[in-house]
Amino acid sequence: ARPAAAEAPAGAMDGSGERSLPEPDSQGSAAGDDIEIVVNVGGVRQVLYGDLLSQYPETRLAELINCLAGGYDTIFSLCDDYDPGKREFYFDRDPDAFKCVIEVYYFGEVHMKKGICPICFKNEMDFWKVDLKFLDDCCKSHLSEKREELEEIARRVQLILDDLGVDAAEGRWRRCQKCVWKFLEKPESSCPARVVAVLSFLLILVSSVVMCMGTIPELQVLDAEGNRVEHPTLENVETACIGWFTLEYLLRLFSSPNKLHFALSFMNIVDVLAILPFYVSLTLTHLGARMMELTNVQQAVQALRIMRIARIFKLARHSSGLQTLTYALKRSFKELGLLLMYLAVGIFVFSALGYTMEQSHPETLFKSIPQSFWWAIITMTTVGYGDIYPKTTLGKLNAAISFLCGVIAIALPIHPIINNFVRYYNKQRVLETAAKHELELMELNSSSGGEGKTGGSRSDLDNLPPEPAGKEAPSCSSRLKLSHSDTFIPLLTEEKHHRTRLQSCK
């Protein structure tokens, strides 16, 4: 049965003709634990009891227990509307999120259901004044991930705005520096920047092909000492490519906003490793012969030429797929370590077994266990060069089991690695799209603001067309107030009769 306060009349008329709040029963206010609270959240009616809500007195629902004594000001500071007849509190909030939030009163923790936006759920918890410490650990990790995504979107939007904006207070050198940086680092900023990016990509391929062709004996020539060296034409092409790479790196270094961060970046270190061997070998060729023997100089130059293979990694700068693959491998260190551990254990076990089983054969190829490591490696990875193979029946059985175990060991960690790649690739595409939609929304808001439209204002609501005749207009309490965390999208102007996807989501 309801307390006596619930059976009180809906309200009494005071001397001025205004309806006043019913006075709560003295016993009901004294024994707050027996009070029954009726809330209506987004059309879902819920009956809660004071003894349950008083466990967490700092929450919004617990504050409803004694709010009637404070009058309408206190009531509407906690809820959106109130029905004195039904003694029912109305909240224009998400009912699905509310069902999750009230779990804190029953179970002492909150678990976010699948399909609810973590950021919106956090806002709901803030509205109901439920601390985030009650949120389950798995949900906290999901919330942290979404926060990082929002920060990444904000960072991308800020970068785009920085590229579009021009500060008149900046000097000519600073503006020139920003233009050069944008020209070299943002291929999508203009058509000439895109042409330069494609040209740099082609020169990377050309230099890599020239490096390979320089090792073909038919394309080499003899020098004065009779040694084979690269063809002069290939050397000229190599010099031209290195000149372009050097110019590009220096321009990017001088125009960089943060030169220390630029110099320590991984891709910029790769650029230095691709350029540096050319100049070191050139220095050793002309000056090193005076300080050391010619043979040592030639060996040093040959070793530096091998370092030219680092320029192939420059392709990652122009390929988002290679960058995604690098990130996926970086996030998959645990799986890769697991794979190496499986292979290491298998190699040790099967090489020892193979060596033991093959000792009875007079023409055995397994001379020692360390030599058997090579056989175990090429067998478990299903390569099988055939230079070492078992000749006994037990040795062949051991080989069959080893490559079956190798296939299983390699296949197990592959799926998580592929998932990391797909997840990161899709995430980057979503973040890029979200950043573009955020810019579209900002442009829409700025255009509507420039026309004197104030989004979500009462005047806009008053100008809406009236309901057709014969149709009852929806009842709306005169005391209905806006909830504290509601977000309003500006009403569309006459020129724009559609919403973007981001507007619809918000």
| pLDDT score for 404 | 92
More confident residue, 355 or 173: 355
* Long-range CB contacts for residues 474-479, cutoff 8 Å, separation at least 24: 477/81, 479/72, 479/76, 479/81, 479/82
The lowest-confidence range among 66-70, 97-101, 390-394, 444-448 is 444-448
| pLDDT score for 298 | 61
| pLDDT score for 399 | 92
| pLDDT score for 302 | 64
Residue 40 in this model has a pLDDT that exceeds 50: yes
Residue 339 in this model has a pLDDT that exceeds 60: yes
Tens digits of residue pLDDT in 429-452: 887 787 778 777 877 877 766 554
What is d(CA 45, CA 373) in angstroms, rounded to the nearest whole number?
Answer: 71
Greatest mean pLDDT among 256-260, 361-365, 376-380, 414-418: 376-380
Tens digits of residue pLDDT in 184-239: 887 777 888 889 888 988 888 888 888 888 888 888 888 777 777 788 888 889 88
More confident residue, 84 or 323: 84
More confident residue, 299 or 182: 182
| pLDDT score for 301 | 63
More confident residue, 463 or 270: 270
Residue 115 in this model has a pLDDT that exceeds 90: no
| pLDDT score for 16 | 41
Closest C-alpha to 276, from 251, 306, 298 = 306
For CATH 1.20.120, list the domain ranges present in the chain. 175-318
Residue carrying the six token digits 């109305």: 90
Q: Which residues contact 348 (CB under 8 A, 6 or more apart)?
A: 373, 376
467 secondary structure, DSSP code: P
365 secondary structure, DSSP code: S
| pLDDT score for 501 | 37
- Are residues 34 and 28 in contact, defined by beta-carbon separation less than 8 angstroms? yes
Residue 331 in this model has a pLDDT that exceeds 60: yes
Residue 18 in this model has a pLDDT that exceeds 80: no
| pLDDT score for 289 | 54
Residue 99 in this model has a pLDDT that exceeds 50: yes
At position 131, the amino acid (one-letter code) is D
| pLDDT score for 375 | 92
| pLDDT score for 261 | 86
| pLDDT score for 70 | 79
Place 39 in a pLDDT band, splitting at 50, 70 and 90: very high
- Are residues 342 and 334 in contact, defined by beta-carbon separation less than 8 angstroms? no
More confident residue, 214 or 94: 94
Closest C-alpha to 402, from 378, 371, 386, 385 = 378
Count CA atoms closer than 13 A to 19's CA, side-chain side.
9
Greatest mean pLDDT among 79-93, 253-267, 285-299: 79-93
In this prediction, residues 234-262 reach a mean pLDDT of: 88
For CATH 3.30.710.10, list the domain ranges present in the chain. 36-150
Burial of 336 (C-beta count, 10 Å sphere; 0-12/13-18/19+): middle
In this prediction, residues 330-341 reach a mean pLDDT of: 85
Options 3.40.50, 2.60.120, 2.40.50, 1.20.120; CATH for 175-318 is 1.20.120
Q: To which H or E segment does residue 176 belong?
A: helix 172-185
| pLDDT score for 284 | 73
Give exposure, 188-204, as e/b (b: 16+ Cβ within 10 Å): ebeeebeeebeebbebb
What is d(CA 230, CA 234) in angstroms, rounded to the nearest whole number?
Answer: 7
Helix (H, G, I), strand (E, B) or coil at 117: coil
Residue 113 in this model has a pLDDT that exceeds 60: yes
In this prediction, residues 75-99 reach a mean pLDDT of: 90
Q: Which tokens go with 371? A: 């030599």
Residue 475 in this model has a pLDDT that exceeds 80: no
DSSP string, 158-217: HHHHHHH---TTS-HHHHHHHHHHHHHH-GGG-HHHHHHHHHHHHHHHHHHHHHHHTT-G
Place 179 in a pLDDT band, splitting at 50, 70 and 90: confident
In this prediction, residues 243-247 reach a mean pLDDT of: 91
| pLDDT score for 33 | 55
89 secondary structure, DSSP code: E
Q: Which tokens go with 303? A: 């070793």
Residue 453 in this model has a pLDDT that exceeds 80: no
| pLDDT score for 28 | 43
Place 374 in a pLDDT band, splitting at 50, 70 and 90: very high
Place 90 in a pLDDT band, splitting at 50, 70 and 90: very high
What is d(CA 39, CA 61) in angstroms, rounded to the nearest whole number?
Answer: 9
Domain 36-150: assigned CATH number:
3.30.710.10
In this prediction, residues 129-137 reach a mean pLDDT of: 88
Residue 472 in this model has a pLDDT that exceeds 50: no
Options 3.40.50.300, 1.10.287.70, 2.60.40.290, 2.60.40.10; CATH for 323-435 is 1.10.287.70
